[in-house]
Each structure stands twice: as structure tokens, then as C-alpha cells.
Structure 1
Amino acid sequence: MKFPMMITAVTALALGHTAQAAEPLKVGISGEPYPPFTYKAASGDWTGFEVELAHAFCDAMGRECDIVPTGWSGIIPSLNAGRIDMIMNSMSITEQRQQVIDFTRPYYFTPGAYVAAINATLDIPEGLDGLTMGVQGATTNATYARRELRDSGVDIRLYNQAEQVNNDLLSGRLDVILADEIAMLQFLDRDEAEGFEIKATAPRHEAYGAGIGIGLRQADDELGEALNTAIATVIEEGTCASLSERYLGTDVCVYD
């Protein structure tokens, strides 16, 4: 009489594990819009290059994923606390971050870009002396500025959100900003930004790491392997390039 009960219990346990395995992956993105990578559509749903790419990666793994907006400054603690399963928000693979989280292989790379008024004459970095520059904090651009631009005489101001940096440049409170080149190309397409241009791009530097990867909890090897396979598949089949061309106007995907 005990065997049927044992079988039922084992079956229930197995079903429980199956249901748990089928739960959607929680993909953490910054709660502050970062177009064209992550932003809200007119419908109120999150979209953008990385949002659609995240869904493509999940599809390649046969999994569903839920987009979970999270404050940028707390996104790594949220990952390690289990509130999200992965970070997919233009996060560069750097040695500093690898001390607390793991990463997949890179899936895209773009350099930092200096943006200022068209009529401004800048000799980067010597020509920054006496100017005020805005950078979003907790980014690779902020790390680069802190390491390489402190002695240039520029007044570096850190901001919580990228849009705050953009707005202060437009209003004249900043002379120049340093931000992701692709994001800046989108910013310069705005009517209100017609008087500004990219003056230069930052050189390849250790602060920028190996490229943009998906952030994972350390030792989450199984998910990391599955994502690396999915990234390779999505890039090789052309989906990454197609999304990149649609949202960014160029192919920024990292190929092996």
C-alpha cells in the first residue's frame, strides 16, 4: 500500500522540478530608459535592441523571459540577491565587475564618444582643460574618465541617469559629455540636438573591458553555458545583425 503513495510523491516532486525549470528567466534592465537599447514603446511595453535580443536568446534556449526594470545602481545587488536571473543592459565585461559576478561571452561592442557643440574646438584630451564634462556614473565611461582624464583639467560631473547628462548638455550646463557612441548617434538625431556633434571616440582601454556581455551570478555555470550557445546561434543566424541594423543603423555584434 505504500508504493502508490511513494510513486505519487516522487511524481509530484518531479513535476515540481519541471514547473520550476519552466519558469521564465528574469532579465534585469535599467529602470531608466536607455534608447535605442532599452525603452518603453507607446504600448507601455519595454522594447529596444537589447530587449528584443534578450527574447531572441531566450527563444534559442527554448525558454521564456520576463523583462524586469531595476535601478541601475542596484542592478548587480539585485542579481546576486536572486531578484533577477541575468543582467542585459549594455554592461561591459570588466575585471572589477568580474570580482562579484560572471559574464557570458560578449555580444556587442561600441566605444565611448565625446559630444559637444558643433562650434566648439576640442583637442581630446588636452583641449578639455577648464571645461565641464558629464558622464553617467557606474559606467565604463565613468571609469575611463576617472582613470585617464583627471589630470586633463576637466571638471568631471557624474549623473545617475544618461538622460540627465544629455539634458544638461542641451541646456548649456555642460561643455562636453562622454557616453556610448551608439546612444549618442541616436541622441544627435533629435531636433533639439542639431547643434551638437561627436568630436572624438575614446581609445580601446582596459576600463571598457572586452565588450558587452550578460551578467550572471557567479557559479551559475549551467545558465552561462546555455546563454553562450544561444548568443552564438543568434549571431550566426543573423538575428543579432538584423536587430542591430534596425535599432542602431550598423552591425555592432561581436563575432568569433
Structure 2
Amino acid sequence: MKRLLMATLTPFCLVPLAQAEVTRVGFATEPYPPFATTDASGELHGWEVDITRAVCEAAALECELVTTSWDGLIPALTGDKIDFIAASLSITDKRRETIAFSDKYYQTPAALAGAKGVELEPTSEGLAGKTLGVQSASIHQAYAQAHFPEATLREYQTQDEANQDLFAGRLDTTLADRLIIEQFLESKEGQLCCEMTGDVAHDPQTLGDGIGFGVRQDDDALRERLNEGIAEVRANGTYDEITARYFDFDIYGEPDT
């Protein structure tokens, strides 16, 4: 098993020494652009990284960013290796059995992509007998298992691997966050092979109620501070300023969702 904490970055939020207590923030090792990627020096970049930094500053938290494998994030949290998760973690009832969540800080739909010219309806009947690629241990895997039972599922450690198999013709379709699908379709490979099939019907039981920071169930104090930080960056314009660097729409989603 890989060593849990793969990289440690320099703290970015300074607070008075009397209050200094490092809050360890867990990101996934696997790249998830434009939300979070690690460069050659081990430094994290992306929209979610910038938002997390802003929330930490607003909440007066001295945050240290660490990375571990996607499927190791929740065990790292419950095992006190990190203090909260910032890795596009969907707020679902299933995950609430193990951890708690902050308020949401973004929400986007799930969508399918497939080969150009091949009609695929994003329904159970439309995907019957098709080979569908999903990221392992993701909400999209849970959605596919619940809604596309007659499809043949192939699991991948990263969405990039699923996209490459779609490009190579080893998959009929893949299910992921719409923004991730769009980014793939804008790539050289994606433009050659594939197109958007469409958004799937939203199911809060599997897709959740947006993306939130994952915290331990007994850590109400940190959860409340993160909620205050999210509210502050939303109110003072920082959220919109950061979002404008990456997207041309409001990634937060509907206020009442």
C-alpha cells in the first residue's frame, strides 16, 4: 500500500502564534483538472485548491495541504491523519454514515460521453449491453450501479484512464462530472473520437446534494468554521473572483439545492 501522505505543501494561511494549530487538508493524489492537479514540484493547483485556501483564510485556519489516493481519503480522515477532505467529495447519505460534511461549495451535473455518431440514450434501456467506464469508489460508479444495471461496468482508478479507453474504443461510454467530460471533449483525443451524450437524471441518493468538505462526525467546531468560511468567501466576492479564472458560469449551482 502506498504511503498515506504523499506530499506536504507549505502552509499558506498565517495566524498569530498563540492560535497556531495546523489543520491538515486532504486532496486526492490523482489529478482532477481543473479542480486539483499536482505539478512536478509537488505543489497543488486548481479551482478547488484556490477555493480551499480562501476558505481557510476566511475561517482563520492555518491549513497544510496533503495528498493521498482517492480511496484512502475517508480512512485518512477517520484515522486522524487529516482533518478535513477537499477533493470534490459529494454529500451523500451513504457517506454521512461515516463522516460529516460542511455546507456545499459547488454543484455540477453528471453526464455521459460516447463515440461520435453513436446514439446513446442516458437511460437504463439506452445503455443495456453497453460497456460503461466509471471511476472506482466514485458517486458515478454508485449511480451507474443503481440506474444502469444492464450495462457492463469497467472501473478505473482515475477518470483520465476511462477517457483514454473511450478514445481507444474499449468503452462505449463513460460517466463523470459534466465539467470533466467537457474538458476531455476539448482535448485533442476527445475532439477526434467523442461527443457529449447528455446529462443523466439527477438522483440525490447517489449523486448527492453538491460538493462539501468532509470532516469527522464529532468535529462540529471545524465544520462550523468551514461553513463560516464558505459563507464569507461567497459574500465578499472572493468566490466569484476565483471562479472567473476557471469557468464562465456560476459553478455553485442553484442556491436552494
TM-score by length of 1: 0.87
Looking at structure 1, the residues matched to 241 and 185 of structure 2 have their Cα atoms a distance apart, in angstroms, of: 22
Please tell me whether residue 207 in structure 1 is matched to residue 193 in structure 2. Answer: no
Matches within 5 A, 1:141-220: 141-150=140-149, 153-194=150-191, 195-205=193-203, 206-220=205-219
Larger proportion of strand: 2
Amino acid at match of 1:100: T
Q: Is the 8 A contact 1:130 1:155 kept in 2?
A: yes
CA deviation vs aligned residue, 1:206-248 (integer Å, no higher than 9, x gap): 2111110000001101111111010011112222223223223
Matches within 5 A, 1:104-123: 104-123=102-121
Cα distance, 1:249 vs structure 2 = 3.2
Residue 5 of structure 1: aligned partner? none
Q: Is the 8 A contact 1:241 1:253 kept in 2?
A: no
Looking at structure 1, the residues matched to 97 and 121 of structure 2 have their Cα atoms a distance apart, in angstroms, of: 35
* Alignment partner of 1:48 out of 35, 46, 61: 46
Looking at structure 2, the residues matched to 184 and 123 of structure 1 have their Cα atoms a distance apart, in angstroms, of: 16
Q: Which moved more, 1:18-27 or 1:31-40?
A: 18-27
CA deviation vs aligned residue, 1:66-121 (integer Å, no higher than 9, x gap): 21111111110100111111001110111110011000011110111101122111
Residue 79 of structure 1: aligned partner? 77
Q: Is the 8 A contact 2:166 2:174 kept in 1?
A: yes
SS at match of 2:212: coil
Please tell me whether residue 130 in structure 1 is matched to residue 129 in structure 2. Answer: yes
Looking at structure 2, the residues matched to 186 and 241 of structure 1 have their Cα atoms a distance apart, in angstroms, of: 21
CA deviation vs aligned residue, 1:30-79 (integer Å, no higher than 9, x gap): 11111111102465411101111110001101222121111111110100
Looking at structure 2, the residues matched to 236 and 183 of structure 1 have their Cα atoms a distance apart, in angstroms, of: 27
Who wins on radius of gyration, i.e. which is larger? Answer: 1
Residue 25 of structure 2: aligned partner? 27
Aligned sequence identity (%): 40
Give the RMSD, CA atoms, in angstroms: 1.7
Please tell me whether residue 58 in structure 1 is matched to residue 56 in structure 2. Answer: yes
Q: Is the 8 A contact 1:106 1:211 kept in 2?
A: yes
Cα distance, 1:122 vs structure 2 = 1.2
Larger proportion of helix: 1
SS at match of 2:251: coil
Amino acid at match of 1:133: L
Amino acid at match of 1:161: T
Instruction: Classify 1:120/1:58 alpha carbon distance in 2 versus 1 (closer, same or farther; 3 Å).
Output: same
Amino acid at match of 1:164: E
Instruction: Classify 1:147/1:40 alpha carbon distance in 2 versus 1 (closer, same or farther; 3 Å).
Output: same
Amino acid at match of 2:54: A
Looking at structure 2, the residues matched to 208 and 88 of structure 1 have their Cα atoms a distance apart, in angstroms, of: 17
Gaps (5+ residues) in structure 2?
1-15
Q: Is the 8 A contact 2:133 2:153 kept in 1?
A: yes
CA deviation vs aligned residue, 1:8-34 (integer Å, no higher than 9, x gap): xxxxxxxxxx86851332110111111
Looking at structure 2, the residues matched to 20 and 115 of structure 1 have their Cα atoms a distance apart, in angstroms, of: 52
Q: Could you list the runs of 4 or more consecutive aligned residues of structure 1 that deviate by over 4 angstroms after TM superposition?
A: 18-21
Looking at structure 2, the residues matched to 63 and 114 of structure 1 have their Cα atoms a distance apart, in angstroms, of: 38
SS at match of 1:127: coil
Gaps (5+ residues) in structure 1?
1-17
Aligned length: 237
Looking at structure 2, the residues matched to 64 and 196 of structure 1 have their Cα atoms a distance apart, in angstroms, of: 43
Amino acid at match of 2:94: Q
Looking at structure 2, the residues matched to 246 and 55 of structure 1 have their Cα atoms a distance apart, in angstroms, of: 15
